[in-house]
A and B are shown apart, each in its own frame.
Chain A
């Protein structure tokens, strides 16, 4: 197994990542539930990670993977803080429907 991309082809990964990313984006737009929107964002992040790894393999360069590593760390931090915010929002409003959060409306 010299290089997997010779067997599968980078374009397949690209398609896959794009599809996954778009599903994530669709989810964010489609749903109003903050937690599910959160999950959708995770999907999008993973789509990007996947593509990074794919290109890392293509270039045979470790840096792409290092980046993924960092982005995972960021994602973890983000989830931790984000969920904490959601919890406090839920405490205050009794719901996590995003449409209820319109305090910034101009």
Chain B
């Protein structure tokens, strides 16, 4: 099985599950499709030989984020298909926006193709966990630390926001 075949299969899975995520009526189904979508994207990462990212991706997205979303859905008891019928206009708007965006972005990238193809590869090791670790903790030391602060702040924020508010007298 050539790589191309693998790619096509993965891409098809990605797009299909992504699409299903969007259109599923039941939020639980959406979430499940999204997990699948993330896994397929993880597959893409593996194809690139970016093991570290693939791992992190699965852990963060498919693990942490999706679990969080599922929990929320459960918490709100949303596993019902109670979304109101949408007006033609909004559907139309969504479709038009989708088509427009798709068209424009594709056009942009196609126009940019000549520049993209010019790049030469150097053959160095650039994406093993070892190298990435070095890059992250040398060149990107400060942003890295900031990310940790960001996550901390987000955590505190989330706790604060979701806390039940005491009634003010």
Contacts and interface: CB of A to CB of B under 8 A. Distances in A.
Q: Do chains A and B touch in the complex (CB under 8 A)?
A: yes
Which 5 interchain pairs have the tightest Cβ spacing? Answer: A77-B154, A27-B22, A84-B161, A29-B94, A26-B98
Main secondary structure, interface of B, reads: helix
Interface of A: 1-4, 7-8, 10-16, 18-27, 29-33, 35-36, 38-40, 42-43, 46, 49-50, 53-54, 56-63, 65-66, 68-70, 72-81, 83-88, 90-91, 96-97
Interface residues of B, number: 86
Contacts of B47: 4, 8
A81 B161 contact: yes
Given A11-B113, A69-B56, A76-B154, A20 B30 contact: no
Given A53-B48, A53-B50, A84-B157, A76 B37 contact: no
A4 B76 contact: no
A70 to B, nearest CB: 6
Contact of B37 (A31, A46, A73, A74): A46
Contacts of A54: 48
Contacts of A83: 68-69, 72, 158, 162
Contact of A76 (B65, B113, B140): B65
B167 interface: no
A38 B72 CA distance: 12
A26 B94 contact: yes
B9 interface: no
Contacts of A8: 3-4, 7, 47
Contact of B127 (A14, A21, A56): A56
Contact of A77 (B91, B135, B153): B153
